[in-house]
A and B are shown apart, each in its own frame.
Chain A
Amino acid sequence: MQRWLSAYLDAELSGERLEQMQAHLEVCPSCQQQMGEIRAGRELLMNWNMRPEPLAKQISSSARWLPFPRWGWIAAAGIAIVAALALRWWPLPSVQAMDVNFYAAQFRHAGYCVYPCTSLADTSLDSLRVSSPLPLQYPEKLPPGMAIHRVIRYKTPRYEGVGLLFAGAGKDFWLFEQPQTAPLATNGQPAEEVRICGRRCTSIDCVQVHLVNWTKDGLRFVIATDLEKSDVESIIASLRRWKQ
Chain B
Amino acid sequence: MCGPQVAALNHAHHDVLFRFARLFLGNPADAEEVVQDIYVKLLEQRAAMPQSVSRPWLYRVVLNACRDYRNSWWQRRGKGSVEMSALAILVDAGPTPEVVLLEQERAAELRRALQQLPPRLRAPVILRDVEGLSYEDIALTLDCSIGTVSSRLNRGRRMLARTFGEEKP
Contact = CB atoms under 8 A, between A and B. Distances in A.
A198 interface: no
B90 A53 contact: yes
Given A38-B154, A41-B164, 19 more contacts: A3-B150, A6-B149, A6-B153, A6-B154, A7-B135, A10-B128, A10-B135, A12-B150, A41-B157, A41-B161, A50-B90, A51-B94, A121-B32, A125-B14, A125-B15, A136-B6, A136-B43, A138-B3, A139-B43
A136 B129 contact: no
B10 A38 contact: no
A17 to B, nearest CB: 10
A12 B160 contact: no
B93 interface: yes
Interface in B65-103: 74, 79, 81-82, 86-87, 89-94, 103
Interface stretch (A83-91, A143-151, A207-215): A143-151
Interface of B: 1, 3-4, 6-7, 10-12, 14-15, 18-19, 27-29, 32-33, 35-36, 39-40, 43-44, 74, 79, 81-82, 86-87, 89-94, 103, 106-107, 110, 113-114, 125-126, 128-130, 134-135, 146-147, 149-151, 153-154, 156-162, 164
9 contacts: A34-B154, A40-B161, A41-B160, A125-B11, A125-B12, A136-B10, A139-B43, A140-B1, A148-B43
A67 B27 CA distance: 15
B15 A42 contact: no
Interface string A1-40: 0111111001010000000000000000000001001111
B158 A37 contact: yes
A169 to B, nearest CB: 17
A46 interface: yes
Nearest to B33: A67
Contact of B44 (A2, A67, A69, A147): A147
B5 to A, nearest CB: 9
Nearest to B6: A136
Given A4-B147, A51-B90, A118 B154 contact: no
A176 B49 CA distance: 27
A149 B37 CA distance: 9
A34 B159 CA distance: 11
Interface of A: 2-7, 10, 12, 34, 37-42, 44-46, 48-54, 57-58, 61-62, 64, 67, 69, 118-121, 125, 128-129, 133, 136-140, 147-151, 153, 162
A2 B114 CA distance: 23
Contacts of B162: 37
Contacts of B129: 42, 44-46
Given A61-B29, A148-B40, A45 B1 contact: no
Contacts of B81: 67
A120 B32 contact: yes
A40 B12 CA distance: 33
B164 A44 contact: yes
Contact of B92 (A40, A51, A119): A51
